[in-house]
């Protein structure tokens, strides 16, 4: 990536207006600029039967997205290549991130890895991870 673009991206990142306390540093040990550049936005939800991950990956081609499940962790890796331009342009600012992006989600309970489904449309990845039968719990009838 062009060094100037990277610097401009860092300079244009939105900063949160919250005071950093010792708890913030323990819970969020990364600086916000690094987080914004190297991660993508996502949601992680669950219901009784499944976990759901929805990730925004605008501009990332489907063949540049990898998903794997290892030791009850779902890992999503994506790569967005910088567009090569032949015209020499001076950037005033750039808010578009390029490079490798990885997120890992710790799944709280055992899952049924054989039935995981993923769908990718218009830059949005949706992953459905069914819970294993033993992790769903079971009602016990009282005699």
pLDDT tens-digit profile of 45-101?
999 899 999 999 999 999 999 999 998 899 999 998 887 776 777 878 777 778 888
* 16: pLDDT strictly greater than 60: no
Mean residue pLDDT of the chain comes to: 78
Residues 6+ positions from 110 with CB-CB distance below 8 Å:
72, 131, 132, 134, 135
* 11: pLDDT strictly greater than 60: no
pLDDT at 106: 92
* 35: pLDDT strictly greater than 50: no
Task: For the chain, list the domains and their CATH numbers.
Answer: 3-13+20-133 (2.60.40.790)
How many CB atoms neighbour CB 80 within 10 A? Answer: 19
pTM across the whole model = 0.67
């Amino acid at each position: 990536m062009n060094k100037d673009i990277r610097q401009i991206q860092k300079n244009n990142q939105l900063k949160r207006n919250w005071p950093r306390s010792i708890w913030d540093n323990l819970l969020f040990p990364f600086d916000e600029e690094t987080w914004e550049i190297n991660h993508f936005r996502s949601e992680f939800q669950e219901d009784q039967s499944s976990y759901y991950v929805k990730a925004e990956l605008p501009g990332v081609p489907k063949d540049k997205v990898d998903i794997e499940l290892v030791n009850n962790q779902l890992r999503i890796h994506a790569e967005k290549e910088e567009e090569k331009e032949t015209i020499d342009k001076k950037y005033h600012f750039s808010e578009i991130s390029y490079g490798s992006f990885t997120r890992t989600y710790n799944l709280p309970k055992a899952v049924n890895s054989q039935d995981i489904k993923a769908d990718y449309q218009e830059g949005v990845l949706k992953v459905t991870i069914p819970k294993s039968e033993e992790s769903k719990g079971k009602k016990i009838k009282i005699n």
